[in-house]
Amino acid sequence: MLTRIDHIGIACFDLDKTVDFYRATYGFEVFHTEVNEEQGVREAMLRINGTDDGGGSYLQLLEPVREDSAVGKWLAKNGEGVHHIAFGTADVDADSEDIRSRGVRVLYDEPRRGSMDSRITFLHPKDCHGVLTELVTAAASPTSGNSSATTSH
């Protein structure tokens, strides 16, 4: 069962400048950063609040590190803005299979490792009214800080 909005992914051309905007405008601070070589992005997670299920709600700012990445191609076509929405779940495997059984295309056969050691998968935007949707199971105890791991967002 989906339990919360885990994060909203925002594609940007300049991660540092975008972080500065969210810090100066809303007072949000960076909770975690990492480079995702597989997805071709540099990201910053800005924590908005904690939730009853032990997870949090975040803004995920995504800057492509190469033009041929999915986010790089998306930025070239659409410009900066909301890239995807992610819903938290206690069991990404079970929920993605349940959603798949309802006729929605799940983009990964098996969930992958995501930010802060989470487990993630994506749902096809054409099956979700134009919205790229991510399902996220948070790690047992997400850690803040910087990382240069090869992960998925």
Question: Strand pairing of 133-137 and 119-123?
Answer: antiparallel
Average pLDDT in the chain:
89
Which has the minimum average pLDDT: 13-17, 35-39, 66-70?
Answer: 35-39
Token pair of 86, please?
A: 């992610």
* Domain at 2-137, CATH class: alpha beta
Amino acid identity at 87: F
Query: Where are the chain's structural domains?
Result: 2-137
Catalytic residues, by residue number, are 7, 43, 60, 84, 134
Choose among 87, 95, 137, 89: nearest CA to 112. 137
Q: Are 11 and 62 in contact (CB under 8 A)?
A: yes
Is it the case that residue 143 has pLDDT exceeding 60?
no
pLDDT reported for residue 149: 40
Q: Each residue of 21-37: pLDDT tens digit?
A: 999 999 999 999 999 88
Nearest to 118 by CA among 137, 95, 144, 94: 137
The burial class, CB within 10 Å (0-12 / 13-18 / 19+), for 103 is: exposed
CA 118 to CA 92: how far, in whole Å? 10
Distance CA 109, CA 112 (A): 9
What is the value of pTM for the model shown?
0.85
